[in-house]
Amino acid sequence: MPVRVYWEDTDAGGVVFYANYLKFFERARTEWLRRLGLNQHTLREQTGGMFVVSSAQIKYHQPARLDDLLTVTA
């Protein structure tokens, strides 16, 4: 799932602020569910269930910068 780095995602140095990677993960997860034909809002209304992230761990390998196109994978 490609995710573009926008100005709002970066700090003053043009590097992605560390916590914003979680937003990228959430965007990718939502798009993945859409591709599977699952709409989170509809799923919650119809079943009362929803996907919840109970923990997350991130290992940063290198910085992402303004206008980079990142690939988010599971």
Which residues are the active-site residues?
A: 11
The torsion angle over the Cα atoms of residues 17, 20, 9 and 6, rounded to 10 degrees, is 130
- Centre a 10 Å sphere on the Cβ of residue 11 and count the other Cβ atoms it contains: 11
Buried-exposed string 40-63: b where 16+ CB fall within 10 A, e elsewhere: eeeeeeeeeeeeeeeeeeeeeeee
